Chains A and B, each alone.
Chain A
């Protein structure tokens, strides 16, 4: 072969590889959005026709929903059984389930819906509402369901997760607030104040064999309660980022002191480390949420639950609460047959019986008023403890800017905990970092 041809070929090869690599990293998203501009209309129209035909022939309507629940808890068989009830009652509707992990559920939904496709319903963490509603990938639901349907649900929960005054997601499960979990062998009774907790934790720390307090020191979610307890908020009423505050300084100082002054925590701990230490009985206190209960039961640890205790120079900590919500595909607005089927499905999911079944799996709280009267909610000690903590919790803001706030806090609190940033100087850094990151959202 000639030299020239060889050279040309290898050049082409190199370019192709280069392109493939870059696109491998970034293009997949792009590919899926290929049809953004005009395809949705055409497709919606097409499927509209199709479904009308279907109706005449009484062919079953297939609706697709995606969920993100822990597959170790919600197993395949559980879903099958849960769905079979609906399919039996509605023989001409078929349900297809897609599982996502909680990271992919947002990205996949965004890309697929933008391309005029995607599941008809998605279960999602409530903080996706702001993102989806802003992007136009969530159907506005105020008039989609009847008032009758809404009146069956807890109004407070419904209101808490509205976005700009409108409903985009139906909260079907509440919980997700972190609380104080203590090892009953080491601590017979929950402390009433943070000072008590610290004193007790100091007493019980014998690093690295035993620690007074362990918690996920990577994700700021676990410490946000202190900010609220000191009277701080991450956003003001106009939605501006407000991290450079006195309350933020106090919060940072508190977690800094846990590690450096009182020396009651490990030097570093992600959630695996923290949870394992607690499960092995090597920690007196941990701060975590209901998702840990099953692991603790399996590990046969005797544990008690309580709200995170009152801060010395502040109030009761106010951890973020989160709901799981059901969000609908905006394409449904143009597809009546499907919309009717989805309506039935969502109403089924939010009936007292089904909500309870689901909530029981993870010790969370249903939102159906009838379900709330159930002995499970009233008597189960875990649910009672969670309800107690929820009294002090605040719903996590769901504006898109939250992304920037989380990222800024995560990377900069890590600097504080590594001793590279002084707690008193930290709030200013948090603020400028969050503002810088928020620019990535592309708001004009």
Chain B
């Protein structure tokens, strides 16, 4: 006899599992499979298995390591900037402020603009002589920065744009988390003689952690895989000095049609991100509820 109590839960999650298998499982398996083939334009319709050749080619390319390092720098700077300024703005907006709602809408605007348009607008603003950024810099005496010509500055321009795009999300999540912190706790803290900055450290942060951890993880993954900002800022051709891992994958796949190598690259990125996500969640004990 089948124990009903044991079967029911599985039946309940079955639709979700099926969707996941189809949407995530199948492409994942297909992608991994592809990474062991030599599918490129020279063998596009009949690729053959070549074992780990794609992987050895990737790992023996010295550029991989500089690109990985750049990707980590890119992710860290973006993350630190978006989380800290998102947190700061959320703290400000969580207070009693005149025109709070209007401010909130303003702060969220970058998120409402389609990314594609936002990046193109930023690209125009970074134009030498005719762009807003350069005009402002020229006014305060800083001249001669070739934002879009010099790979170093292009990379900085990408970071600035991405931070601008990323802050609203962090702010929104933090604000939501802040609003769920019961006010009584602060009152209790005051009675217990907790100083103002200690309040944030001892009450706010532990209480918003369960919300912030997944938000930070998601945002890390997004930033790590942010292909559109770099792709569009560099007018579709990122120089090797502005490339991050995922933009390389994009280039290998869709400019050079080397699907085998691009798939291998994707698998590597996937492993990096999987290790990162699970370890950060473990480290922050983010999976645990506050009241467990």
Residue positions of A touching B, CB distance < 8 A: 1, 3, 6-7, 9-11, 13-27, 29-31, 33-34, 36-37, 40, 103, 107, 110, 114, 131, 134-137, 207-208, 218-219, 266-270, 272-273, 400, 403-404, 406-407, 410-411, 414-415, 417-420, 433, 437, 440-444
Does A36 contact B45, Cβ atoms closer than 8 Å?
A: yes
Interface centre among B20, B124, B130, B217 (most CB of A within 10 A): B130
User: A345 to B237, alpha carbons, bound, how many Å?
Assistant: 36
B249 at interface by CB-CB < 8 Å: yes
Does B278 contact A15, Cβ atoms closer than 8 Å?
A: yes
Closest Cβ neighbor of A104 among chain B residues: B254
Does A114 contact B44, Cβ atoms closer than 8 Å?
A: yes
Residue positions of B touching A, CB distance < 8 A: 20, 23-24, 26-28, 30-31, 34, 38-42, 44-47, 124, 127-130, 146, 148-151, 214, 217-218, 221-222, 224-225, 227, 235-240, 246, 249-263, 265-266, 269-270, 273-274, 277-278, 281-282, 286-289, 292
List of B residues within 8 angstroms of A29 by Cβ: 253-254, 259, 262
Q: Min CB distance, A17 to chain B, in Å?
A: 6
Q: Min CB distance, A42 to chain B, in Å?
A: 14
Chain A, interface SS category: helix
Closest Cβ neighbor of B42 among chain A residues: A443
User: A103 to B124, alpha carbons, bound, how many Å?
Assistant: 20
List of A residues within 8 angstroms of B217 by Cβ: 14, 17
User: A419 to B128, alpha carbons, bound, how many Å?
Assistant: 14
Chain B, interface SS category: helix
Does A27 contact B27, Cβ atoms closer than 8 Å?
A: yes
Interface centre among B221, B265, B281, B292 (most CB of A within 10 A): B221
Does A411 contact B40, Cβ atoms closer than 8 Å?
A: no
Contact pick for B281, options A14, A31, A37, A418, CB 8 Å = A14
Knowing A15-B277, A17-B277, A18-B270, the reply to whether A418 touches B150 (Cβ < 8 A) is yes
Knowing A7-B288, A9-B287, A131-B257, the reply to whether A19 touches B270 (Cβ < 8 A) is yes
Knowing A110-B44, A136-B44, the reply to whether A23 touches B149 (Cβ < 8 A) is no
Knowing A14-B217, A30-B30, A272-B124, the reply to whether A267 touches B146 (Cβ < 8 A) is yes
Interface centre among B28, B257, B261 (most CB of A within 10 A): B257
List of B residues within 8 angstroms of A403 by Cβ: 255-256
Contact pick for B28, options A23, A110, A269, CB 8 Å = A23
List of B residues within 8 angstroms of A444 by Cβ: 38, 42
List of A residues within 8 angstroms of B274 by Cβ: 14-15, 18-19
21 example contacts (A-B, Cβ-Cβ < 8 A) are as follows: A10-B214, A14-B281, A18-B221, A18-B277, A21-B221, A21-B224, A31-B27, A33-B34, A33-B39, A135-B41, A135-B45, A207-B129, A208-B129, A266-B128, A268-B128, A268-B148, A273-B127, A410-B237, A415-B149, A418-B149, A441-B258
List of B residues within 8 angstroms of A219 by Cβ: 235
User: A437 to B238, alpha carbons, bound, how many Å?
Assistant: 12
User: A37 to B45, alpha carbons, bound, how many Å?
Assistant: 7
Does A134 contact B42, Cβ atoms closer than 8 Å?
A: yes
Does A267 contact B44, Cβ atoms closer than 8 Å?
A: no
User: A270 to B127, alpha carbons, bound, how many Å?
Assistant: 9
Does B30 contact A21, Cβ atoms closer than 8 Å?
A: no
Which 5 pairs from chain A and chain B are nearest by CB? A442-B40, A418-B149, A135-B44, A14-B277, A10-B287
User: A121 to B225, alpha carbons, bound, how many Å?
Assistant: 34
Interface centre among A114, A218, A414 (most CB of B within 10 A): A414
Closest Cβ neighbor of A267 among chain B residues: B128
Knowing A268-B148, A403-B255, the reply to whether A26 touches B262 (Cβ < 8 A) is yes
Q: Min CB distance, B63 to chain A, in Å?
A: 8
Does B31 contact A26, Cβ atoms closer than 8 Å?
A: yes
Q: Min CB distance, B164 to chain A, in Å?
A: 20
User: A207 to B128, alpha carbons, bound, how many Å?
Assistant: 13
Knowing A6-B287, A134-B41, A266-B130, the reply to whether A19 touches B28 (Cβ < 8 A) is yes
Does A30 contact B221, Cβ atoms closer than 8 Å?
A: no
List of A residues within 8 angstroms of B148 by Cβ: 218, 268, 270, 414
List of B residues within 8 angstroms of A419 by Cβ: 146
User: A26 to B270, alpha carbons, bound, how many Å?
Assistant: 11
Does A30 contact B128, Cβ atoms closer than 8 Å?
A: no
User: A40 to B44, alpha carbons, bound, how many Å?
Assistant: 13
User: A25 to B266, alpha carbons, bound, how many Å?
Assistant: 9
List of A residues within 8 angstroms of B128 by Cβ: 266-268
Does B20 contact A16, Cβ atoms closer than 8 Å?
A: yes
Contact pick for B252, options A21, A207, A440, CB 8 Å = A440
List of B residues within 8 angstroms of A17 by Cβ: 217-218, 221, 277
Q: Min CB distance, B277 to chain A, in Å?
A: 4
Does B45 contact A3, Cβ atoms closer than 8 Å?
A: no
Does A23 contact B289, Cβ atoms closer than 8 Å?
A: no
Knowing A10-B281, A442-B42, the reply to whether A407 touches B255 (Cβ < 8 A) is yes
Closest Cβ neighbor of A277 among chain B residues: B130
User: A155 to B261, alpha carbons, bound, how many Å?
Assistant: 40
Closest Cβ neighbor of B47 among chain A residues: A36
List of A residues within 8 angstroms of B31 by Cβ: 23, 26-27, 30
